[in-house]
């Protein structure tokens, strides 16, 4: 693999930026990796573990001379960071982001992008429930999708270069309209996270979460909910604040289906339940056939140390 960008600036040094730094090094994709984070503590840890070639104090300093700038902060913080870096961006540079929501991030960041700088929004569909500069690892994006959501006037060459970069990080890359992205992610990630948060919250209300029996006998059901519900509170608050419309749309449909299943249970309508569960089982088979999960018993838990979630 050869160098794709001479200098990559990572703004925010958490799970995603850290994994990008490791993956870039593995693939030899960047001449130099410069990083910065909001807090001195995160910058200190990143410097100690050698996460980037250079750690600097401000985002403005980080982007100077960079030909790729990636915003790796929570969705709600993208606009403020874009405003801060805008006057310091190099001509011809590409600005991208990794936010889990695309339309809102585009409207926050887009207005700050100066003429002669490209903006190619992106979202890697890969993550874990861990955060911070120590959480990243090179394999996070391997065989996972990265969705690019360029606008109609985005320079195709800038998009193609970013595609090559993410492929170099091990990912499969596809392009998608930003609004469509937000609806798809509301179904596949955002609403499921909300349901997990709710389920764990309900169990907590019943004061049974701390009861060791709940965890001990939870197998993969409730235990998986607790793992998802351990995801970063700031990021997930921002996801729901910035993908409001699509999440409310999917939640509305979810509630209707839940009521239908509730009625079937009350009426003893086994036919309805069986037909529903048969349909959902086929969806699971499709995910495995597409290579996006394992059909190993217990999700291959014994062998797989890091289990993915996708913001």
Torsion of CA 38, 170, 188, 129, to 10 degrees: -40
Calpha distance 64→62 (Å, rounded): 6
Q: What is the footprint of ligand NAP within residues 276-295 (CB under 6 A)?
A: none
Q: What is the footprint of ligand NAP within residues 227-266 (CB under 6 A)?
A: 232, 235
Q: In angstroms, what is the minimal distance from the CB of 143 to ligand NAP?
A: 15
- Residue 231: left if φ>0, alpha if ψ -120 to 50, beta else—which one? beta
Q: What is the footprint of ligand NAP within residues 116-155 (CB under 6 A)?
A: 123-124, 127, 131-132, 135
Q: In angstroms, what is the minimal distance from the CB of 276 to ligand NAP?
A: 29
Beta bridge partners of 309: 127
- Ramachandran angles phi, psi of 162, nearest 5°: -65, -35
**Which of these, 118, 192, 116, 195, lies nearest to 154 by C-alpha position?**
118
What is the longest distance spanned by two Cα atoms in the chain? 67
Q: In angstroms, what is the minimal distance from the CB of 260 to ligand NAP?
A: 31
Q: In angstroms, what is the minimal distance from the CB of 59 to ligand NAP?
A: 8
Q: In angstroms, what is the minimal distance from the CB of 80 to ligand NAP?
A: 6
Span near ligand NAP by CB under 6 A; candidates 1-9, 13-21, 22-30, 108-116: 13-21
Residue 13 or 68: the one with the smaller Cβ distance to ligand NAP is 13
Asked if 15 interacts with ligand NAP (CB under 6 A), we say: yes
Q: In angstroms, what is the minimal distance from the CB of 190 to ligand NAP?
A: 10
Contact between 88 and 58 under an 8 Å Cβ cutoff? The reply is no
190-208 burial code (b ≥16 CB/10 A, e <16):
bbbbbbbbebbeebeeeee
Among 8, 37, 52, 186, indicate the residue that binds ligand NAP (CB under 6 A): 37
Contact between 4 and 29 under an 8 Å Cβ cutoff? The reply is yes
Q: What is the footprint of ligand NAP within residues 62-81 (CB under 6 A)?
A: 72-75, 77, 81
Q: In angstroms, what is the minimal distance from the CB of 36 to ligand NAP?
A: 9
Span near ligand NAP by CB under 6 A; candidates 96-104, 160-168, 208-216, 219-227: 96-104
309: which DSSP letter? B
Q: Helix %, strand %, coil % for the chain, to 5?
A: 55, 15, 35
Contacts with ligand NAP by CB under 6 A lie at 12-17, 37-39, 42, 72-75, 77, 81, 98-100, 123-124, 127, 131-132, 135, 232, 235, 309-311
């Amino acid at each position: 693999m050869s160098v794709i960008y001479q200098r990559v600036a990572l703004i925010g040094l958490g799970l995603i930026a850290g994994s990008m730094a490791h993956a870039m090094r593995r693939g030899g994709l960047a001449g130099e990796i410069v990083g910065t984070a909001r807090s001195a503590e995160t910058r200190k840890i990143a410097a100690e573990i050698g996460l980037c070639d250079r750690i600097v104090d401000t985002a403005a300093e980080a982007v100077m001379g960079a030909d790729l700038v990636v915003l790796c902060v929570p969705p709600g913080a993208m606009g403020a960071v874009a405003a801060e870096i805008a006057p310091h961006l190099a001509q011809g540079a590409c600005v991208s982001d990794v936010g889990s929501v695309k339309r809102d991030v585009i409207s926050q960041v887009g207005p700050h992008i100066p003429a002669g700088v490209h903006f190619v929004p992106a979202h890697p569909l890969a993550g874990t429930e861990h955060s911070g500069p120590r959480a990243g690892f090179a394999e996070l994006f391997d065989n996972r999708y990265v969705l690019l959501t360029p606008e109609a006037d985005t320079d195709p060459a800038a998009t193609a270069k970013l595609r090559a970069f993410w492929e170099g990080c091990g990912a499969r890359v596809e392009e998608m309209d930003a609004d469509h992205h937000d609806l798809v992610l509301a179904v596949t990630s955002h609403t499921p996270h909300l349901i997990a948060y709710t389920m764990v919250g309900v169990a907590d209300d019943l004061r049974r979460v701390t009861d060791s029996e709940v965890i001990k006998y939870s197998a993969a059901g409730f235990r998986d909910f607790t793992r998802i519900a351990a995801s970063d509170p700031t990021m997930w608050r921002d996801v729901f604040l910035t993908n409001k419309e699509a999440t409310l749309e999917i939640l509305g449909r979810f509630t209707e289906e839940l009521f239908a299943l509730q009625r079937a249970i009350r009426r003893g309508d086994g036919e309805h339940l069986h037909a529903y569960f048969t349909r959902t089982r086929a969806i699971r088979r499709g995910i495995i056939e597409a290579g996006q999960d394992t059909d190993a018993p217990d999700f291959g838990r014994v062998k797989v140390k890091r289990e993915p979630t996708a913001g």
